[in-house]
Amino acid sequence: MTVEIVPIGRRHVAGFREVLDSVARERRFLAYTEAPPMTEVRRFVLNNLKRGSPQFVALDAGRVVGWCDVVPKPRESLRHSGVLGMGVASTHRGRGVGGRLLSATLDAATAAGLSRIELIVRADNAPAIGLYRGFGFATEGTLRDYIRIDGSAYDALMMARLAPWRGRPVAEGEGMAARDVKLRYHCVEVVAGPDGCEAAKALKGQRLLSADAPRLPLATCDQVEHCNCRYLHHDDRRVGPRREADQGKLPSPWSYTERREKRGRRETDWE
């Protein structure tokens, strides 16, 4: 038996659904008890392809016999994390397929900048827990009464694996734009000392992006020797709440004038 591990492609959607369905119907390992409908599975795979999310399949003579995917979390503060799911057809377990799938997927997730991979596994799923531990996953807690199948309740474990570093290393030349939004808008204000020069006083209240801020003492400073001006740091260049909602008010009602002359393609245009 030669099993290949390859990145998933559109041509594997039906095969992926088939193996997911077979594992789900075993009713012992997944929260699914059958695969979702084809349209949903296709959307999941196409989204992964579009976003470059890691997903690999195991192929035996072209037939999908296993999968492993990591779906990154969309929220800005959680974007370093991804959620892992996997399974191998019962006919192909215990032969190293799961390990190879997991290894390929974790490598791709690390290359994509994910530093925390997490998953939920049924507490009685010894093979999967053994596999995850072998790849450095640690148990972070027990989710009690997490899954109920056929009248029985099962606990689950929350497991996660952290990359050796906690933040994503910023590649040379990548610049501020790719970093945390907070850092991108980091700015400073020049605060003149008690005997500050006129040039420093003139900058009062101005927030300047760190990269654009003048160095202290200012080039025009007339008391360089005794300069005690300093920078005041801010996370954002904007001052004060800007939206009505930030000020505890209700947003203004939205109004518009219909400018279309013909009926459009929306269903409601025909009502």
Ligand X SMILES: CC(C)(COP(=O)(O)OP(=O)(O)OC[C@H]1O[C@@H](n2cnc3c(N)ncnc32)[C@H](O)[C@@H]1OP(=O)(O)O)[C@@H](O)C(=O)NCCC(=O)NCCS
The dihedral formed by the CA atoms of 133, 138, 144 and 149, expressed in degrees to the nearest 10:
-30
Is position 96 an interface residue for ligand X (rule: CB under 6 A)? yes
Is position 82 an interface residue for ligand X (rule: CB under 6 A)? no
Is position 34 an interface residue for ligand X (rule: CB under 6 A)? no
Question: Angle formed by the axes of helices 13-25 and 38-51, to 10°?
Answer: 120
Nearest-angstrom CA–CA distance, 238 and 44: 38
Asked if residues 233 and 185 have their Cβ atoms less than 8 Å apart, the reply is: no
Out of 62, 74, 94, 205, the residue judged to bind ligand X by CB under 6 A: 94
Window contacting ligand X (CB under 6 A); options: 23-31, 181-189, 232-240, 244-252: 23-31
Is position 33 an interface residue for ligand X (rule: CB under 6 A)? no
Taking the least distance from each CB to ligand X, the nearer of 45 and 97 is 97
Is position 126 an interface residue for ligand X (rule: CB under 6 A)? yes
DSSP 8-state code for residue 162 = E
Residue nearest ligand X, CB atom distance: 98
Out of 27, 42, 79, 93, the residue judged to bind ligand X by CB under 6 A: 93
Taking the least distance from each CB to ligand X, the nearer of 43 and 133 is 133
How many helices (H) and strands (E) the chain has is answered by 6, 10
CB of 237 to ligand X, least distance (A): 45
Nearest-angstrom CA–CA distance, 230 and 218: 11
Out of 8, 19, 23, 187, the residue judged to bind ligand X by CB under 6 A: 23
Nearest-angstrom CA–CA distance, 72 and 81: 6
Taking the least distance from each CB to ligand X, the nearer of 96 and 167 is 96
Nearest-angstrom CA–CA distance, 218 and 229: 9
Point out which residues pair with 161 in neighbouring strands.
117
Is position 119 an interface residue for ligand X (rule: CB under 6 A)? yes
- The footprint of ligand X (CB under 6 A) covers 23, 29-30, 86-88, 93-99, 119, 121, 125-128, 130-131, 134
